[in-house]
Chain A
Amino acid sequence: MYAQMVKSEAAQDDPEKLAAFQARIDAGEKIEPKDWMPAAYRKTLIRQIGQHAHSEIVGQLPEGNWITRAPTLERKAILLAKVQDEAGHGLYLYCAAETLGVSRDEMTEMLLDGRMKYSSIFNYPTLNWSDIGAVGWLVDGAAIINQVPLQRTSFGPYSRAMIRVCKEESFHARQGFDAIRKMAEGTPEQKKMAQDSVNRLWFPALMMFGPSDKESVHSEQSMAWKIKMNTNDELRQKFVDQTVPQIEFLGLDLPDPGIKWNEERGHYDYTDPDWSEFFDVIKGNGPCNVDRLAARNKAWDDGAWVRDGLMAHAQKKRAAKTAAE
Chain B
Amino acid sequence: MKNEWPLWEIFIRGQHGMSHRHVGSLHAPDAEMAIKNARDVYTRRNEGLSIWVVEANHIAASSPSDKGPLYEPSESKVYRHPTFFDIPDEVGAM
Contact = CB atoms under 8 A, between A and B. Distances in A.
Interface of A: 32, 34-36, 81, 84-85, 88, 91-92, 95, 98, 103-106, 109, 160-161, 164, 168, 307-308, 310-311, 313-314, 317-318
Given A34-B64, A35-B64, A104-B27, A311 B44 contact: no
A308 B3 contact: yes
Nearest to B10: A95
18 contacts: A84-B40, A84-B44, A88-B41, A91-B41, A95-B24, A95-B25, A103-B1, A105-B1, A105-B4, A307-B3, A307-B29, A308-B3, A310-B29, A311-B5, A313-B29, A314-B29, A314-B30, A314-B33
Interface in B30-64: 30, 33, 40-41, 44-45, 61, 63-64
Interface of B: 1, 3-5, 7, 24-27, 29-30, 33, 40-41, 44-45, 61, 63-64
Contacts, number: 53
B64 A32 contact: yes
A214 B45 CA distance: 42
Majority-rule SS of A interface residues: helix
**Which of B26, B29, B30, B63 has its CB near the most chain A CB atoms (within 10 A)?**
B29
Given A34-B61, A88-B41, A88-B44, A98 B33 contact: no
B7 A98 contact: yes
Contacts of A81: 44
Given A104-B4, A164-B24, 7 more contacts: A95-B25, A104-B27, A160-B24, A161-B24, A310-B30, A313-B30, A317-B30
